[in-house]
C-alpha cells in the first residue's frame, strides 16, 4: 500500500480545512492582542513612559506571533491553490494595504526611541496605531465579502476571472464585519494590557476593554441577524463527491437567505461556536470588572475562537463562494491540492507545528510577568 493512501482523500481535505482554521485562530489569538495593543497605544498611553511601557508588553513577542500569519498564508497556497489564486488576485489592493500596515509596525518598534524628539515619537506612535488598526479592519471586511460571495467566475479551463473592484468591497455588511474584527481585537488587547501592566495603564485598559466586551457580542449578533434575513447563503444542490477531482464546475449550487445557518440544524453541537462568540465577551467584561487577569485573557481568546469558528462552520463546505456564478464557488471538496500533496504536508505539519507551539509556550513562560516602568525609565535591560 502506498503510504499516503493510509488516509483517504476526503479525510485529508477535512483535516486541512480544520488546520487552516487552527492557523487563522492562532494568528488572531496571538498577533491579535498585538494589534489590539497598537490600536490602543495613542489613547491609553498619555506620557512617553506610559507608551514605552505599552510597547514593551508586545515588543518581545510580536515577531513570534507573526509566524501564525505566515503559516496560514503558506497553508492556503499549498493546500488550496485555487483559493490562494482567486482571493489574492481579487483582494490584491486590500492585501497590499495590509502588508504596508504590517511593515509599519516593526519599523516603528525599532525607530521610535532612536530620537528623543516628542514629535518624532508621536508620529511613530500613530504609525503603530495604523499597523494595529488597519489589518483587522481589512481582514474583517474581507470576511464580510466572502460571506456575501466574491465576484469571480471560472471558465471551462478553470481560469479565474475577478469582476469586482476595491471600493466594491466597502459595502455596509463588510464594514460591519470589519468593525467587529477591530472591536474584538481591542477587547483582546485590553485583556493583554490588564495582564501585563499595572496602575493607571491597566485601569485605562480595563475601561476600554469593558466597552469593547459589550460592543463585540452586539456587533456579532447584528451581523448574524443580517446574515440570516438579507444575505444569501449557499448550498450544494447536486450530489456531493467528497473524494472527487478538484474541479469546482462539477457541482450545482443554490442560494437563498438563511442557508448559512443550515449546518446548525444538521449538527446542533456546532452551536457551541456562536454561543462562545456571544457569551465569551460577556465573561471578558466580568473578568475585567473583577480583576481576573489570566482567566480574562484566556476567555478573550476563546471568544475569538467562537467568532472565527462560527464563520467557518456556517460556510462549510464552502471556502470561497462566488456571487457571479454560484457553480464556480470553491469548496473543501473540489479546490484542494492532490491527495499526495496534502499527505506530505500533513506529515511535515505534524513534525513542525508542535515545535512551533512548544517554542511559543517557552517564550511566553520566560517573558511572564508585568512590564516594570521603573526598569524602562532607568534603562535596565533591553527595552524599546
Task: Give the tens place of pLDDT for each residue, 37-90.
Answer: 999 999 999 999 999 999 999 988 888 888 888 888 888 888 999 998 888 888
pTM: 0.94
Q: How much is the pLDDT for 1?
A: 47
C-alpha triplet 176, 177, 179: angle, nearest 5°: 65
* pLDDT value at residue 337: 94
Give the model's pLDDT for residue 379: 65
> Hunting for cell 449538527 — which residue is that?
267
pLDDT for res 381:
58
In which residue ranges of the chain is pLDDT below 50? Answer: 1
Quick one: pLDDT at residue 363? Answer: 84
* Cα–Cα distance for residue pair 356/106, rounded to 1 Å: 21
Taking only Cα atoms into account, the Rg of the chain, rounded to an integer number of angstroms, comes to 22
pLDDT in tens, 148-179: 999 999 999 999 999 888 788 889 999 999 99
CA dihedral 343, 345, 350, 356 (to 10 degrees): -170
Residue 257's beta-bridge partner residues? 232
Q: What is the pLDDT of residue 378?
A: 67
**Residue 220: in which H helix or E strand, if any?**
helix 199-229
Domain boundaries, the chain: 11-374
Picking from 54, 31, 59, the residue whose alpha carbon sits closest to that of residue 42 is 54
Amino acid at each position: 500500500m502506498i503510504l499516503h493512501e493510509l488516509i483517504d482523500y476526503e479525510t485529508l481535505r477535512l483535516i486541512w480545512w480544520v488546520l487552516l482554521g487552527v492557523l487563522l485562530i492562532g494568528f488572531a489569538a496571538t498577533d491579535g492582542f498585538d494589534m489590539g495593543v497598537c490600536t490602543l497605544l495613542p489613547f491609553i498611553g498619555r506620557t512617553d513612559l506610559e507608551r514605552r511601557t505599552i510597547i514593551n508588553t508586545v515588543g518581545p513577542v510580536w515577531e513570534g506571533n507573526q509566524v501564525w500569519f505566515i503559516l496560514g498564508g503558506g497553508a492556503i497556497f499549498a493546500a488550496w491553490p485555487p483559493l490562494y489564486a482567486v482571493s489574492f488576485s481579487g483582494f490584491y489592493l486590500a492585501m497590499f494595504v495590509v502588508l504596508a500596515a504590517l511593515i509599519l509596525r516593526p519599523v516603528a518598534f525599532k525607530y521610535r526611541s532612536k530620537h528623543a524628539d516628542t514629535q518624532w515619537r508621536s508620529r511613530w506612535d500613530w504609525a503603530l496605531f495604523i499597523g494595529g488598526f488597519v489589518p483587522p479592519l481589512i481582514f474583517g471586511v474581507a470576511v464580510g465579502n466572502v460571506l456575501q460571495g466574491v465576484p469571480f467566475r471560472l471558465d471551462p479551463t478553470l481560469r479565474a476571472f475577478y469582476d469586482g473592484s476595491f471600493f466594491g468591497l466597502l459595502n455596509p455588511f463588510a464594514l460591519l464585519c470589519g468593525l467587529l474584527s477591530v472591536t474584538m481585537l481591542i477587547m483582546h488587547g485590553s485583556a493583554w494590557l490588564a495582564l501585563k501592566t499595572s496602575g493607571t495603564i491597566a485601569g485605562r485598559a480595563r475601561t476600554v476593554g469593558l466597552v469593547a466586551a459589550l460592543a463585540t457580542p452586539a456587533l456579532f449578533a447584528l451581523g448574524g441577524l443580517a446574515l440570516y434575513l438579507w444575505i444569501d447563503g449557499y448550498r450544494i444542490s447536486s450530489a456531493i463527491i467528497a473524494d472527487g477531482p478538484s474541479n469546482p464546475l462539477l457541482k450545482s449550487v443554490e442560494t437563498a437567505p438563511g442557508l448559512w445557518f443550515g449546518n446548525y440544524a444538521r449538527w446542533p453541537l456546532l452551536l457551541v461556536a456562536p454561543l462562545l462568540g456571544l457569551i465569551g465577551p460577556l465573561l471578558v467584561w466580568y473578568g475585567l470588572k473583577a480583576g481576573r487577569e489570566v482567566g480574562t485573557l484566556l476567555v478573550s481568546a476563546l471568544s475569538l475562537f467562537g467568532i472565527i469558528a462560527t464563520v467557518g462552520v456556517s460556510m462549510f463546505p464552502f471556502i470561497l463562494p462566488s456571487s457571479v456564478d454560484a457553480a464556480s464557488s470553491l469548496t473543501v471538496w473540489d479546490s484542494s491540492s492532490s491527495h499526495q500533496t496534502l499527505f506530505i504536508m500533513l506529515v511535515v505539519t505534524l513534525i513542525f507545528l508542535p515545535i512551533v507551539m512548544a517554542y511559543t509556550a517557552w517564550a511566553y513562560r520566560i517573558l511572564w510577568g508585568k512590564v516594570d516602568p521603573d526598569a524602562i525609565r532607568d534603562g535596565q535591560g533591553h527595552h524599546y
